Structure 1
């Protein structure tokens, strides 16, 4: 049986008027003390050992902590005081309105009542009458009994999913198996041997894992590896490890993409919040919360995470809890599930791109954009990229793929594809000699149409022709084709950087063939090809929209190349990269460029793509780096509603290294 606190009499000090303090005065002072949690300014008289201050503190401490976290002070106000003037002595009833903020927007509100009684001063005293307030446990909250207290906990929302182009989840909860040594399955003398045997099977360092097992507690489960339930991608079976001594296999779920490699550099990963993340969250994130740790998971974490709910419970007294009495929920704020982040990834094309790059040793990338929509349907980085998103963040000289930009600048200067340009075997600029790629056809040297020089990628022709083009006009042409630093793709990305401050003829010569200080990413060059195919500047998008969730959490900013929110356009400096011409890329200009790229396939350096269905244009590129003996290799292609870039950091030539990869990707689309 629950013990009840004996009635406690509380003498409330109040400002004294001509007729002494009123019941309202007494109630106001009580409300102020309750709100602050400090009754020290009130004279308390009890006829038992009960302590109202201790009771108030113990029962409401979690509520005060929640209010402090919310940044809003709790309040207690006097809603009504009713005085019975006919009673002897006079009595009153006071109704108190309580507000406990549990979030910045939500509060638990309720009322309680108490009785007051006027007390005459002792005989012979000239003091006016005062009012006594009766203290009962339910003065703090309705139905609160002796020994009970409140608890405030969070209700976790469901984390939002990252969706593909078809609005199907890419990153979502998937079944996994956690495999490790369960030390309760064996004895101390067996643990090390069991750990070494498991490590050998799953591919871990035997000594390191065995050391971890030995250092863990006597009843610990020491995880060795977590694998997917479907397509685990390991060379052992669950039955094999289940049959090993000391091994436990535990079913669980994790937020995962379709495969272990699927766009992982872009999508990123989520996991338990680190101490650093918790410390920087100002209380928004607690230990055990799942947060984004990299990529889109981190960039859009606030939207994906949603808003936690709050549950206020009245906990039973200790003896009642031991007797099996359950807590009683008295208030709840429902959690708001996280928003979904809708990407542009086409799973089939992304997986195909990753399969094509699977055996490429150097850093590599394939990016595919749909010119009609700007959707980046694939952005794959090969295993040689070692976790870096070469596809979206790589910064490399684009080599002769940059001649698409050159060609637009030349067209705008009055040169037509049929106009003759000079393509000598070599060309010397300020003492440096430039030549064409080995095997360049002699038939395409000398005085040739611009279209021929473009088809066969004549370096000397473009160096000569671009010598009289203002670098600012070239940069504007690049911008009109979408080659700018910040693509606004909704994910951390880099497009390209085309400098205008080229000093000397050598710098201009290097820029003309996409070397020197000209930089581009595979995504940036795919954007160039997409703009040509679309007949207008394409703005690529990796994130289509943020769907659902709380309004204040779903409005996530578009990350900049560094992964931090992009600055508003009006805050850009006057020295920002040129953003193109007022008219932009015209349909006629794009048509002329696409025909030039068509010549690369029909007669030029990308002739290997001639038999690939749907291919209407391409451009190869090779950019020397280091001491000039090594080169980055590129290829652009347009096929149906796809604009594709293939890049390999270290290869032979665009036609011989990137070309076969492009052919394989497009042939299997």
Structure 2
């Protein structure tokens, strides 16, 4: 028998079930027959099974590219399969299933057919619960090419019992958002009543819709033309929101707004702080997810979801928003006989705990409400590092001046300069030279215009510090090299690369300064930068007798930030300043003896220097330091003004972007704050 003839006799070559044969049966089989079969087996490789074809199909279902799939007659083609997959799965985008080959069955009596199980796994959220199911697909070997297996394609291959007219739909139930808590777990942010004000296009005709949009836009001082276009572009039955007004907000007369035909106010609740201004640059806002947030979430957030848009609400959104409940349904074209395929219950969000004391924060914001330039008050508990207030005045236009501002700290930085001098061997009683002026490489430095003449000449370091003698600190610069200033600032917590669990900048001292730049560094000018949070940390470290790291978010390491970028840039509704260039150095620990000496110097500011107005402040002994830092061109110099203070277990920094002097502009604000804190 030749090989060609053997192929014509196809039944003789197909694998058959093997049966046990007795000796009589074996005896009937001739030796020649056994030889032929053995030869044919050796020469004819076993045709491939369906596994490769099934794997090709699973990949196609995952990717949507069916070009490599062989389809059975009447089952359509690659284009039709791709179209069905796209239409079926469109409602669950951007989810993509993971499809794997399951059990494959090849009947013994029909080795040219097969049935395979496909197991689907949909990772629908960040929980351990996935949407899983199995479908069946039939395959058959091609009649003319034994190497090819063809797929019998049906909608049921994608989803069990899926009908040709059915598609998938996902319904989301938003989870209850976590609250933001303050000191002692006092509630700061929780659901509060609001009214969404906008144009309801069902209430008026086209002409009335435009008129309503123009009237509402003008009343709210919006970009009128932009809002008119939004209303025109929305669907015929749309409600086009213009503003969300919290209940009781005296700034808006909602009743007057809705008096315009076509304008409507819809009651709702959203997470809000006690007042519109309360720590807003730090806490951030909550609202409907933007297209960018939806895209970056990779399916965790959908259009219309309530999500953090800025600040801590954005940074810790994954923690706060919880997990939505999901229902996946197969929906027919007529929308009647809807089948539920999968469902999960919503998981409430987790509360975010902070150290902000609501009463203290409110008092700080009240003090700053009439300050025109950018301003800030930051208060820290030295014993714990807890930030109890971080208020930014309205002049910052939404930026967190308190935690992100970068300004020359002026003479408040002399606390760090004094520490460097103490480490060089000086004491509070060591004599230093305080001339009216001093020159460095041709640049003249002087004291502030009203510097007392009685404190000029050879004076103790205590006096030079208390009266804020610039020339004394600059004259002593050789005893405190720039590297010593960097180390001293770090010992007091003023470091450029602190990771605090919230968007913050503490300070930066350049390590490569010499000449006039080093001289300027000695008095907190030149390229030295600090934030109000940073200078409050300096005061807190002096009070604690050890380096303090400010803490605003409790258990920040355990909380999950949305992204690292959000953690560093998302805390403000306004622009975030670029970080200052500085070299990070390991800080030298602050000793209790050094802190004692610094407290002596800061107390002298109150007993014999420019902070004498704080002597009678209720609440105990006050230690302080004022600061003024010039900026701008020579013809129009202006002053950043500062004052820092310690009283009991409270360290405070007050800053105003433009003022006269630290003691005269920032000082009264500090005094009011300390009086309020003392009760």
- Category of TM-score, reference length = shorter chain: 0.7 to 0.9
SS in 2 for 1:74: strand
Judging changes above 3 Å, is the alpha-carbon distance between structure 1 residues 198 and 276 closer, same or farther for their aligned structure 2 residues? closer
**Cα shift at 1:378:** 1.6
Q: Residue in 2 aligned with 1:647?
A: 655
Which residue is 2:100 aligned to?
75
Q: Is the 8 A contact 2:93 2:299 kept in 1?
A: no
Distance 2:154 2:567 in 1: 59
TM-score (norm 2): 0.77
Q: Report how far residue 136 of structure 1 moved.
A: 9.4
Quote the offset at 1:360 in angstroms. Answer: 0.8
1:398 and 2:409 matched: yes
SS of the aligned residue for 2:526 comes to coil
User: Cα–Cα, structure 1 residues 90 and 422, in superposed 2: closer, same or farther, change >3 Å?
Assistant: closer
Q: Work out the CA distance in 1 between the residues paired with 2:12 and 2:387.
A: 77
Structure 2 Cα separation of the partners of residues 408 and 434 of structure 1: 22
Q: 1:288 aligns with which of 304, 322, 334?
A: 304
- Shift in CA distance, 17/56, structure 1 to aligned 2, threshold 3 Å: farther
Q: Are the equivalent residues in 2 in contact too, given 1:31–1:77 (CA < 8 A)?
A: no
Whole-Å separation in 1 of the counterparts to 2:12 and 2:400: 76
Structure 2 CA distance, aligned partners of 1:334 and 1:17? 60
Superposed, which structure 2 residues align to 1:172-251 within 5 Å? 172-187=190-205, 190=208, 194-195=212-213, 197-199=215-217, 201-204=219-222, 219-230=237-248, 232-234=249-251, 236-251=252-267
* Distance 1:208-1:25 versus aligned 2 partners, 3 A rule: closer
- Could you tell me which residue of structure 2 aligns to residue 451 of structure 1? 462
> In the comparison of the two structures, how many residue pairs are matched?
619
Residue 383 of structure 2 aligns to a residue whose secondary structure is: coil
Call closer, same or farther: CA 1:223–1:21 in 2, change over 3 Å: farther
C-alpha distance 26-443 of structure 1, shift in aligned 2 (>3 A): closer
Contact 1:623–1:632 (CA<8 Å) still a contact in 2?
Answer: yes
Distance of 1:139 and 1:198 partners within structure 2: 53
Q: Aligned equivalents of 1:617 and 1:307: distance in 2?
A: 49
Shift of 1:633: 0.5
Per-residue Cα deviation, 1:64-121 (whole angstroms, up to 9, x for no partner): 67999556631242266786x8xxx999996836334344865544456799999xx9
Counterpart CA distance in 1 for 2:229 and 2:83 is 45
Which aligned pairs between 1:311-326 and structure 2 lie closer than 5 A?
A: 311-316=327-332, 318=333, 321=335, 324-325=336-337
- Equivalent position of 2:629 in the other structure: 623
Residue pair 2:326, 2:343 contacting (<8 A) in 1 also: yes
1:618-638: CA deviation from partner (whole Å, max 9, x where unpaired): 110111122274211100011
1:262 aligns with 2:281: no
1:532-543 correspondence to structure 2 within 5 Å: 532-543=542-553
Q: Offset at 1:482? A: 0.5
Provide the C-alpha distance between the structure 1 equivalents of 2:153 and 2:456, rounded to a whole number of angstroms. 103
Measure how far apart 1:405 and its partner are: 0.7
1:495-536 Cα offsets, whole Å, 9 max, x none, are 1122232222x3333222111122111111111001011110
Partners of 2:84 and 2:155 within 8 A in 1: no
Which one of the candidate residues 10, 19, 42 is aligned to 2:14?
A: 19
Deviation at 1:399, TM superposition (A): 0.9
Alignment of 1:578 with 2:601, yes or no, is no
Helix, strand or coil for the counterpart of 1:525? helix
Secondary structure of the residue aligned to 2:479 is coil
- In 2 relative to 1, CA 286–197 (structure 1 residues): closer, same or farther, beyond 3 Å? closer
Q: Is the 8 A contact 2:98 2:122 kept in 1?
A: yes
Residues of 1 paired with 2:521 and 2:592: CA distance? Answer: 26
SS in 2 for 1:166: helix
Query: Using the alignment, how far apart are the partners of 2:517 and 2:73 within structure 1?
Result: 91
Alignment partners' CA distance in 1, 2:154 and 2:17: 21
Q: What's the RMSD between the two structures over aligned residues?
A: 4.4
Q: How far apart are the structure 2 equivalents of 1:462 and 1:39? A: 78
Could you say which residue in structure 2 is the equivalent of 1:484? 495
* CA distance in 1 between partners of 2:339 and 2:263 (Å): 41
Mean CA deviation greater in 625-634 or 554-563: 554-563
Over residues 109-134 of structure 1, what are the superposed CA-to-partner deviations in whole Å (9 max), with x where a residue is unaligned? 4456799999xx9xxx9x99xx9999
Q: How does 1:119-158 map to 2 (within 5 A)?
A: 144=161, 147=164, 149=166, 151-153=168-170, 155=172, 157-158=174-175
Instruction: Note closer, same or farther for the CA distance 1:289–1:364 as it changes in structure 2 (3 Å cut).
Output: same
CA contact (8 A) 2:69 2:78 kept: no
Looking at structure 2, the residues matched to 501 and 652 of structure 1 have their Cα atoms a distance apart, in angstroms, of 31
Tell me what 2:640 maps to: 632
Q: 1:501-650, aligned counterparts within 5 Å? A: 501-504=512-515, 506-546=516-556, 557=564, 576-581=583-588, 584-614=589-619, 615-626=621-632, 627=634, 629-650=637-658
2:437 aligns to what?
Answer: 426
Query: Contact between 2:70 and 2:150, CA under 8 Å: does it hold in 1?
Result: no
| Residue 299 (structure 1) aligned with residue 309 (structure 2) | no
2:50–2:114 Cα contact (<8 Å) kept = no
Tell me how far 1:292 sits from its aligned partner: 3.6
